[in-house]
Structure 1
């Protein structure tokens, strides 16, 4: 009867606690779900996804516009040079205008005279092809009508991104007279023809690159600037028998008397352009696509030109899409039953009032809607799942808490019931929260603990230890040691009779174990044993001992798990995870040890291999198959050389092999021959069922013949490998010191660069930065100038400095030389005393502390007005930036240059916190005609003014551009329209001052 009330009371407490908890949890879940639903977070996530897509397309369009407008179509210098050559040869009688387009004989001298300029321009602009087509007569009424064959020249580079080869060995002649082919010494393509064949006569060569610009120029009758008649077009098959599409740009060639005698143009292969439109940046797994297309004005029906992305292909061909505007500013279209979201941005390729201004080009980035908005759906489902899990956890927690609060008395009663008179086990009583009962339980627990502490000794502890711990004790005077039962089994010795083991036998057995197991001493004084197990595998045991008076105690611990983990970490540190070969750090560390004993190297060879087909495999089947290609190649290399050879993967597709310890080169050559055969016979299966052979190009540097320095051997092998890749891929070639030393241009450039540093030959010109309100120069930017036979530009100097590791020297020279030149101008009162000096600093470099003190001692009065200008697209180094800001010579004033030209503009802006922001010239150029550019400048101006920063519009070259940026509220102006850079700064151009004054008087700011 006494237990019934307690059970009734327990049930009452249980339900009293559980029901309010459940109700509270349910209300919280409903509030959470309703709040998330009402907040509209998923709609904002969808909008963010659309904005990110639009920004990515805008960034890619800026890059593409810079290439198409600022690089590829800038043929003015080349066309002027070709026209000058034609005029001169006509005056000298070397060619005849009436015979120029009649056949090979009449044009061959002229084509040979311009070939060097064509090849140089082709390499500098990195285009796939360059061509000149001669035509002095009338054209047919339309490109569909037959046209006679035309002479000219067409050169093609199938890999324009790679470095130019010696004697233009990487070029092919597609069209040129036979006399030109013989004189140039450049290989001809299988599709070579001496003439351009159009219409019915050739049935193959595209007529558009010749027809469109010439018809426009002929229609003008007295063409002005030939670039106004330049025309972009996409041709699906530009040459007879060539199915590769290409984007071409061509301009008319005009003599000084206005005679039009042909066209000059460049071409970009479709595959090359696809590399500049990486659809993977829009969405992974080939779910995004870029589309470069043309359209008529005010028409959203696009004709595809170049496409990268499988989602916009139908039957392997680009699909024609019709866009439907959306309120968000984007577009949607349906293709193959799937709905897509697209971001569109125009490419302004032609000037206004140009013949082809009606022809519009655009860049479209598209992602399937289900993929683009997948994240918001996932977030909503996650919220619901969390709510359900929270509800279930709350129910479970309520049950658990209720039971834990209601059952202590019941459990205590059961525990007490189990205690019987004469029981050997001590009672284990749980806390109930009742003071008297808990004090009684605590007294019993303390009594039990005292009994155990007084009765337990070290040997008993060892007997009760787990299998992972064992030990022994030797006491002076005892005939037998104490050894735990698991001690010898832990050390791999079964069947030891511990009952009859005396101290002598124990010591003998331990000495035998020491000899057999070869222990390794750890830093803490313990020993580690590697014990093979009979059933297979390895056990690692750590042993240590201590002497206490007349007792020696030893302890053995199974540390297999920790040791294997340490070995795994060391293996991952030293071995490439993909191939299982050495990585770069382990390879170099091992080589350093080998080179410490040169006598053991004998004859050796360092082989650098580079896989030839990796890029195409990645592009066609993805990086997972590319990784399998790398893995199989690494296995092939390692399996084809002796076991003592060092084989490492040092980068994505580069491997290093070091063969050493041989008596002659011939022994190594035999191994290299076997390696070559193994590579050629290794076949890689692709996912489409096609099989390709593994192909690798390699360079060999010999020890000690080529060098005894490991660093030089690596450099020589690398040089030999790239010589092979440029000439005959898939082979191995020896390093040739003669070829290496005959890289005269690079050597001369490096010599001039070192001379420039030694003699401090840099000079600086200064360009004013003008106040947008007063028209007064408030600052001057120091611009590097260099005049050496091969070093002609600051970019070339900086490239050599990066390659030679001398960027810090350029940084030091820039500061001291620019400050010195500007101080001289100040001393002669040629610049205002309160004007700032902008110095272009290298973001990753900084002056030493002593150099800062020297700079401050020389130009201490100038430095407080010095602005540190950092280019936006350089890698920001927070440590270097902080050092520049805190240097003794620093004003702490920063300017962020070329803002908007890279992909990390906002990140760099936040990290640098500049006082001045210079908007990139690509945004300023043509800003008066581009509302998007105006919006960009307006946004950054508002942002800067709210934070006390000033905006500089640089690269201003026209009155309309100046008027536009003044309306947008920029603070400072810089560009040729105001003043050009000079050693002694010139005055501000009067038309620019008048324009600023008129704007100020208008009262608009």
Structure 2
């Protein structure tokens, strides 16, 4: 009777404590989430309000600046018309530019070549070259003396410097007058009109993070937290985050549960989140204090009864403990049998049924996974076991036959070593993806504890192959298969920076001489084939000495490296131009041509010179070749 009384006392008191904690939890948690949702909504509204104000400011600044810059360009054209002598010296043009408060002043004649300029090094530049400069050709092609063009801020052709240019027609003389300014105010306003700028200066409470996600692509465009948080948000998916307008919990890839609130604004989903641990920090402290108080009451009551029931209860518990120890060592057929009281007999039967249920459930889950064809496998080892438990697909995922896998499972130390060997072959830029054979990859999650180790293995082959295909397509031109210009510059900069003292390298800039005429005369299909044939000859250059890329429409570049003498590089270029001249291209029925290209190159053994400077020098050499004698290359 005393044992029954003690047991029911503990049950009743524990139930009462649990009920109080559960009721307190739900009431307090609901209130806490509501207050946090109101805070998030207020701050998101503040972000939207700031963005709207910044957009109005940017529109106002752009309109005012466009009108102001056009006025200055017209004033410059007026001075040139009324006082042509101002064109006689760079100093006079420089003074006029200073008077008009512009950074650059250029004047051309009908041929589109800069004849007069406040920047001497720009004299001679042709408005037919470069995307930015070609934007002003409609002025030269128009007969109107009131023609003007206002360009958006962009890198200029000469130096890739961020500038805003305005051009107007000359009065009485065919040509154009152009002024250029560094758009400082506009660029600053554009910078303020980004979510990154707003988030960097936005006041947040401890643990709060804000993000903005593009609705079209599902990519995070701004974030106040770490880079890995952005990846987790993108992986979670736009559709799921859009459902958080009234606040909801979401579990990130790392297992962190966060409270998220979002709101759509234009083409962006703005959201705020806080991990659950931070949100409930004070909350759990209060719950813990309540729990400790109630627990103390229960402990006191139990201690008072402990003396009366100690011997009988402890004896039965010790026996159950010993039998459970046998079960944990792998003796799953062990039956727990403890008599002396109905309660212990029921408990013994319950434990036995539970063990059998766990064994049965484990078998069923393994069979279900095998039937579903999910590429997933798991393994587990406890220190008291003499084998490693595995699921059926592990051998297939690790490319291991049944006999070999059986030998490993019978030797836990060898199995652990085998897993570690697999995890040494890490895929570049992937933390938990490893090679599992030719064109095969697996993701391994592995944990070692004091009591043993366990892990899971999933097939990551399709994911990795898709990533590599995407990386290749992002870095290579779709039409020609050559490297894109940004990727070319990245790789060439790395090679230049690691140049040996006894090596030289060269930058070669190329331009197809007759491409525009071929494109206009025979159509884009022929033009595309002309580009592809040229690109194929570039691809035949030695890959261990050359990087090749398409810079723009008919402009290409080569970075030659790994040579010790310039004559080796010239020999390479001679063979390349010989290959061009021997390549016959069919244009139309009965019409053929050879590929004609002009090139300029520059050599160096100075790894500190910088790729940008080499490209500029090679560009200048190309310009001289096209100006003097097209169809060959010069240094």
Query: Common fold, TM-score beyond 0.5?
Result: no
Flag the structure with more relative contact order, 1 or 2, with Cα contacts below 8 A and sequence separation at least 6: 2
Which structure has more helix as a fraction of its residues? 2
Q: Please tell me whether Structure 1 or Structure 2 has the larger radius of gyration of its CA atoms.
A: 1
TM-score of the aligned structures, taking structure 1 as reference length? 0.27
TM-score of the aligned structures, taking structure 2 as reference length? 0.42
